[in-house]
């Protein structure tokens, strides 16, 4: 008996539960790739903006003028720009108060920058846990579909008098596709998560270094 072992035929002939598992894994894979490409674009843009703003910051003669240009710009500040904006705004606001100590002004600006930094990192980490979940869970979902498919194949042998490998081969083959799809969904998700988690950690360090350098500048201005 000729059996069609093409992937399309095996998927279509699979049991309803195995088909459901494959559909879940396919959706998880498609959403993972969507997150991977979106996160790649977001992080590349964040690195580019950080490089451009650092150049503008260290070449600026007047930080107040730089702050005014950011507020007048059409584009919403983000990343390092947002940290600078939050710190300088709070610094200028507290400095206008009478009787406030220079260290209190500096500490208030640092708190504002720290909040802005944490919010920026939180935005960068959006959907990153999803990649970790897909990477860790997908192989087990695929394995569940495989076990179910193989179990059904062997149960079908109870109705025949003479069992052969050809009788169970299609069922086992279609069940193993679930495992393959689980790996197909998991591997890119794991790679994407590890890479982007490392990129975000580097951006966090870069933002934090800028925060400390800007704090030193504000400290000197606070005592003027």
What is the reported pTM?
0.82
Residue 66, pLDDT above cutoff 90? no
Q: Are 103 and 85 in contact (CB under 8 A)?
A: no
Of residues 74, 50, 143, 107, the one with CA closest to residue 222:
107
How many Å apart are CA 144 and CA 138, to the nearest integer? 10
Mean per-residue pLDDT, 4-15: 60
How does DSSP assign 59-88, residue by residue?
H-S-HHHHHHHHHHSSSPP-THHHHHHHHH
Residue 165, pLDDT above cutoff 60? no
Q: Are 130 and 36 in contact (CB under 8 A)?
A: no
Residue 189, pLDDT above cutoff 80? yes
Residue burial 100-137, b: 16+ Cβ < 10 Å; e: rest? eebeebbebbbebbeebbeebbeebeeebeebeebbeb
Residue 87, pLDDT above cutoff 90? yes
Q: Are 221 and 102 in contact (CB under 8 A)?
A: no
* Of 22 and 125, the one with more pLDDT: 125
| 3-state DSSP assignment of residue 20 | helix
How does DSSP assign 124-180, residue by residue?
HTTTHHHHHHHHHHHHHHHHHHHHHHHHHHHHHGGG-SS--HHHHHHHHHHHHHHHH
Residue 1, pLDDT above cutoff 60? no
What's the pLDDT score for residue 5? 47
The two structure tokens encoding residue 160: 């025949």
How many Å apart are CA 19 and CA 8, to the nearest integer? 12
Q: Domain extents for the chain?
A: 7-222
Q: Are 177 and 11 in contact (CB under 8 A)?
A: yes
Mean per-residue pLDDT, 13-39: 87
């Amino acid at each position: 008996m000729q059996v069609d072992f093409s992937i399309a035929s095996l998927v279509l002939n699979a049991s309803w539960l195995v088909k459901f598992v494959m559909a879940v894994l396919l959706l998880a894979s498609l959403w993972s790739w969507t997150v991977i490409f979106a996160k790649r674009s977001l992080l590349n843009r964040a690195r580019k903006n950080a490089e451009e703003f650092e150049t503008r910051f260290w070449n600026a003669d007047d930080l107040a003028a730089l702050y005014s240009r950011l507020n007048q710009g059409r584009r919403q500040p983000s990343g390092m720009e947002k940290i600078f904006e939050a710190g300088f705004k709070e610094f200028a606001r507290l400095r206008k108060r009478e009787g406030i100590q220079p260290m209190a002004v500096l500490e208030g600006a640092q708190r504002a920058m720290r909040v802005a930094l944490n919010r920026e990192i939180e935005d960068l980490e959006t959907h990153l846990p999803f990649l970790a979940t897909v990477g860790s869970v997908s192989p087990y979902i695929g394995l569940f579909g495989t076990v179910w498919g193989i179990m059904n194949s062997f149960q079908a042998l109870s109705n025949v008098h003479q069992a052969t490998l050809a009788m169970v081969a299609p069922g086992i083959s279609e069940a193993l596709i679930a495992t393959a799809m689980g790996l197909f969904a998991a591997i890119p998700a794991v790679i994407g998560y590890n890479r982007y988690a490392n990129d975000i950690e580097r951006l966090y360090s870069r933002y934090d270094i800028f925060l400390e350098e800007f704090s030193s500048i504000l400290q000197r201005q606070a005592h003027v």
